[in-house]
Chain A
Amino acid sequence: MSEGLKLDAVRITDGRQMVIVADCTIAPGAVMTIMGPSGVGKSTLLAFVTGTLNRAFTATGRVLLDGEDITSLPPHRRHVGILYQDDILFPHMSVGQNLAFGMERGGKRADRWATVVAALSEIGLEGFAHRDPATLSGGQAARVQLLRVLLSQPRALLLDEAFSRLDTNRRTQIRTLVFNMARDRNLPVLMVTHDAEDARAAGGHIITLGE
């Protein structure tokens, strides 16, 4: 039974002003929204969860994923995925190679490639496997980014203002897609945003930092 993502007595400080305190649990398939003014440390909290916290900060507390304490694990062993507002697609790889990057190692190349192609058609991007990522539109890139993270079989998903760059129409579309796919896979989602609409659509718990 997966227990989701738990932040246990997490306390991050930069030694001067900023202090973040978080103590919460996100159930599988649920979305927790974190809002607050810029600079308050929302992205820092996400960095703590991915395991890429800057040296300037000290952090105490634990991160538990499905009951396992991942606080001291390096990022590549945590199985936590992240989506940024810019599509961080690797520019030197094709769309297909980007997608295959996070997939589990082993298996025949042909099989892996077949998975990639299948995933692309599932999301409405048939034939995009050999495309140059720089030629994708905003919506296409967002979908590829989502697909890439999902193909790496994460056990939790982090969203760092993931929809801010998209125009209103696209935004709703992608947002719904992300939430649906996360729910289908029972992934706990931790979303950072400053958009109230995002928060409302998420339908989960909302935490506001700062003040």
Chain B
Amino acid sequence: MRFLPLVAALAFPMAAAATPDPSDWEAVLQEADGQTVYWNAWGGSTTTNDFIAWVGARVSERHGVTLEHVKLTDTADAVTRVVSEKQAGEDSDGAIDLIWINGANFAAMKEADLLFGPFAEQLPNWGYVDTEGKTVRTDFTVPTEGYESPWAMAQVVFMYDTADITEPFGSMTAILEWAKANPGRFTYPQPPDFLGTTFLKQALVDLTDDIEVLQKPVTEVDYDAVTAPLWSFLEELTPNLWRQGRAYPQSGPAQLQLIADGEIDLAISFSPGEATAAIANNQLPDTVRTFVLDNGTIGNASFVAIPYNSGSAAGAMVVANVLMSPEAQLRAQDPEVLGYGTVLDMDKIPRDDRAAFEALDLGIATLSPEELGNVQAEPHPSWMTRIAEEWATRYGTAR
């Protein structure tokens, strides 16, 4: 019986089983002890950086894993790195051990066989994850198949300064009307920034009559007809944007500074707790609140994936597992820390942890899960690419 894995390895040298094998968790823990894991994650948010540092302390204390946060400006940089390494033949100890990833980047890496796995569903804490109510098994309609492990739920909300805006808006059309009456007080990050394209998607989802069609790849439907409402919306909106659309903030958090500076009153965010965390951090005035649209907003999960050539895959799996633990999830949801949504199913986690979740004060600017309302599914990734391209053509270059 002992020989079975060996025979399997010999008989099926290209077997899909990943080494180290995540189902043998004891072995993984042992191998992970002493490893250094380079987690390439976006470094533009100081609150997230702090959280990652906290995770590092946990895995170091409990499992002897050293976590190094490699701060990226763009996840694509990490993808490029792995690609370069594969090109150079570096197959066993790449520079990257873990990537915070989703969407198009994940799709690209999965397709190019650049990922280690499958591993996510064998991790011990997978049992706590809410696989029914939350989109943790598909990433922008692409099945994850265990090649990435979820750690946060995100949902689009809009942040607004109640000192200048009295009532939240229920739809994109309402936002447009307000922008026309108050030009220069709203903007969104410049695509292809992730949040910027999210705004475009959200607008499309809210303006379109037929949401189902967006779940299909863009090539199968009449792109022009479906996106027409979006472009006419932008036609009217852009002259009324901050700086008349001649410049855009380059990232999501950059908008926080604009609100604080009094330059804008409304901004989009992908984290329901971001506003509360920012207020606690002195980055936003305490008059900021959040709202969602009447029809609901887009939501998705953040994942971590392990490159195929990571030399510390065991350590990376340990980190991924810790990220899904109730303790880490609770901490991430705490608005004083990060304010991210959880991927866990409240019914599946131990009672004490559930009580802790329920007792958590979500903060003054965070909507409760009921108030967050309807989660709309992400469109197929091909829509994002195509819309971002067209936006770049129409608005990306000054004329």
Q: Do chains A and B touch in the complex (CB under 8 A)?
A: no
Chain B: residues with CB nearer than 8 A to chain A?
none
